[in-house]
Structure 1
Amino acid sequence: MRYVFDTFVIDAAARELRASGMPVRVEPKVLDLLIQLIERRDRVVSKDDLVEAVWQGRCVSDAAISSAVSAARRVLGDDGHGQRYVRTMHGRGFRFVGPLVELGSGAAEESHHVDQPGGDRGRAPAREALRQEIRYCHSLDGTRIAYARAGAGPPLVKAANWLHHLEFDWESPVWRHIFEELASRHQLLRYDGRGMGLSAWDVSDFGLERQIEDLETVVDAAGLDRFALLGLSQGCAKALVYAARHPERVTRLVLLGGYARGWNRRGDPAGAVLRRAAIEMIRVGWGRDNPAVRQMFTSLYMPDAPADSQRWFSDLQRKTASPQNAAAVLEAHGGVDIRDVLPLVKAPTLVIHSRHDGGVPFEQGQELAAGIPGARFAVLDTTNHILPATDPAWHRCARLIREFLAE
């Protein structure tokens, strides 16, 4: 069994801990202790229970147990003050409290299965064959970037948007149906942008040029020559600039919920004030157990999603990025203005936008379609910026993308 939380993956069967995809050295007893706390995370684990499970009932001092707990916290970048993952329940024991996803067996870089809707002869392989493979490359400034491939067929590259995590997104009901649809007919290439997911978090430059360099690096590392390019939300700006600079490589361009002007370039002072306030709230409240700040973004981006999807999206926000990185990337996106790039795009382009999108105003989608030569514009009758599988607009969106890419 694998347990995934934040940038960490613990493979209980392989006896391994990884951070951002890289192996971490950890004492066997410390790893045993972590696994025991995680497997019993629904309750407080007493010192006696830990002694029985980790030390096989041998006589162990309280100091030795406390030392092992401290070592477990250190290896996770935690401490006795923050107690982000392992919490001391005074007089009772310890409990694992970090947000966690439980996956099937296999090492972190190996693939795992994804449910595959059946019945369509045109679809590629069933669930057993649909896997993702995660690898790493380094951007021009040396930043480590994680990318993943899944499926077979004509290549389709997804530009990174604001929040993403290759492992969590692949399992999450927020994104799973979207990636299943795309990977069922294409070789889907995704990546975690700098400061996000399995890519390096120790980053200070989130400017658009750096983010485009990440995209360029990933497609080169994957050995792709010509491919269709998909932009979702903030990923649309990167996709557009790349398509304008590399017209010989982009066969088709799909833009969903995107914009040419970031929130600070739209001539909307009131909207900009709200975004700045939201960024400050991210910095102080993003990583807290109380989901109030994250729920604000959940309500903004997928207001009509089922409760389960909303809970996943709230958890995903905390897992995909630190408060500092989440705020910095959102702030960087606010200054984007690529209107001068739109006339330079040569690839056939499909622009899709939700009519009542609370995340990106509908007019921004119209501006994209009007500025790109020959672009098609499709409207979805929904309030959701991120489309849950239960939204009828998702099924129309999937059909539009499928037919456009098949032309």
Structure 2
Amino acid sequence: MEPHVFYARTTDDVTIAYAVVGAGPTLVLLPGVPFSNFLEEWRIPILRGVYERLAVRLQVVQYDGRGTGHSQRDVSDLSLDAMLRDLDAVVGQAGIERFALLGFYNSCTHAIAYAALHPERVTRLVLFGGSSRGWLAMSAPETQALLSLIERDWSVFVECAAHAWMGWSVGEAGRLAADSFRNATTPAVARATFQAASAIDVSDDLAAVTAPTLVLHRTDIEQIPRAVSEELAAALPNGHLRLLAGSSPALFFENTDEVVRAITDFVIEGRPDGRPQRSAVPRNAHGLTARELDVLRLIAQGETNAEIAHRLTLSVNTVERHVANLYRKIDARGRADATAFALRQGIA
């Protein structure tokens, strides 16, 4: 699976790069401005694995915010309204009417503001490492010391940021992360983006957010006090706080399987705490197991047994057994029949 880059145009004539992968309910990953660079993120093995696993059951939309990545670099407006125009342009160009949003750190305020403005479009919110007040996500002394490096030594800054913020250990992943940050934007845009983000306050919008919201917080994270996440979850009408073990400030770099499962289950089934609820298997699914449904979705996306095995971390023999079982259950003679069944049942 590889993301293909498309382009959208905002109402203030800024070009935004985006990609869509997978099938299922839509989850829009808000960009981690000023370091959004989704194509580079796909080069980092652990993130590629995360995106591929999310795409098994979800349609995942990624885009680079203005001034970053493959989006237009020569921009001057980095305000909250500008960031919301980027999101509007992407979902409009992609033809997506309803979707969940995942925001982290600075983009949490973007997610809250958009959900308050468009309650009819936002189905779920997932928030990590942020607050309704932009300054709180940047107020830690360590973060302020790090930000002071932006204009003094850009190279040192991106190396430190890749390890301190994202929690990546020294090695290939850290080098790729630093490269992604370094190539994502310029020091001037980075500084201006952080300045704009620190002034954002969407506290007055919280009461207007009707979408069920999952606030994720790591118990031992140093950058964001637990009280900030608790306050955010409590202020949202349908907010739920879920604690994750560990200390990594990066959402996907610790307890990865748990995090991917929590996000996927919440977006599809509205399960904020991971407790067993009624199965979300589609009606008339002919008794397919959850794993057989995963395989069927990937068959409908045109993937081979070998590709499915790689995606689901299974052996090819195991995938072949799942394929044979699901063919028998749905009376399919081959991949075309299986794909047609998946489309009829709303599985694909």
**TM value normalised by structure 1:** 0.61
Count of residue pairs brought into register by the alignment: 268
Report the Cα offset of residue 317 of structure 1.
1.0
Q: Specify the alignment match of 1:56 in structure 2.
A: none
Q: Contact 2:130/2:137 (CA < 8 Å) preserved in 1? A: no
Return the structure number with greater strand share: 1
Identity %, equivalent residues: 36
What letter corresponds to residue 402 of structure 1 in structure 2?
Answer: T
- Superposition pairs of residues 72-151 of structure 1, within 5 angstroms: 130-151=1-22
Change (3 A) 1:178 1:362: farther
Of the candidates 161, 173, 189, which is equivalent to residue 309 of structure 1? 173
After TM superposition, list the pairs within 5 Å mapping 1:265-276 onto structure 2: 271=140, 275=143
Distance 2:215 2:160 in 1: 27
8 Å Cα contact 1:263-1:275 kept in structure 2 = no
Other-structure match for 1:293: 157
Report if aligned partners of 1:212, 1:242 keep a CA contact under 8 Å in 2.
Answer: yes
Match of 1:155? 26
Give the C-alpha shift of residue 257 in structure 1.
Answer: 2.1
CA distance in 1, matches of 2:244, 2:197: 24
- Cross-structure match for 1:126: none
Distance across 2 between alignment mates of 1:403 and 1:154: 11
Residue by residue over 1:179-198, the C-alpha shift from the partner in whole angstroms, topping out at 9 and shown as x without a partner, is 22222211111110000000
Q: Deviations over 1:59-111 (max 9, x none)?
A: xxxxxxxxxxxxxxxxxxxxxxxxxxxxxxxxxxxxxxxxxxxxxxxxxxxxx
Once the two structures are superposed, the pairs formed by residues 232-251 of structure 1 within 5 Å of their partners are 232-251=104-123
Matched residue type, 1:135? F
Whether contact under 8 Å (1:165, 1:320) holds in the other structure is yes
Q: Please, which runs of 5 or more residues in structure 1 have no aligned partner? A: 1-129
- Structure 2 counterpart of 1:400, from 251, 258, 262: 262
**1:254 and 2:114 are equivalent in the alignment:** no
TM-score calculated relative to the size of structure 2: 0.71
How far apart in 1 are the matches of 2:264 and 2:93?
26
CA distance in 2, matches of 1:138, 1:304: 34
Secondary structure in 2 matching 1:181: helix
Q: 1:307 to 1:236 in 2, by over 3 A?
A: same
Corresponding residue number in structure 2 for 1:24: none
Report the Cα distance in structure 2 between the residues aligned to 1:265 and 1:359, rounded to whole angstroms.
8
Query: Which segment drifts farther, 347-356 or 294-303?
Result: 294-303
Structure 2 counterpart of 1:328: 192
- Report if aligned partners of 1:261, 1:364 keep a CA contact under 8 Å in 2: no
Which structure has more RCO (C-alpha within 8 Å, separation ≥ 6)? 2
1:368 matched to 2:232? The reply is yes
- Higher helix proportion: 2
- Shift, 1:380, TM fit: 1.3
Distance 1:359 1:174, change over 3 A: farther
Deviation at 1:388, TM superposition (A): 4.8
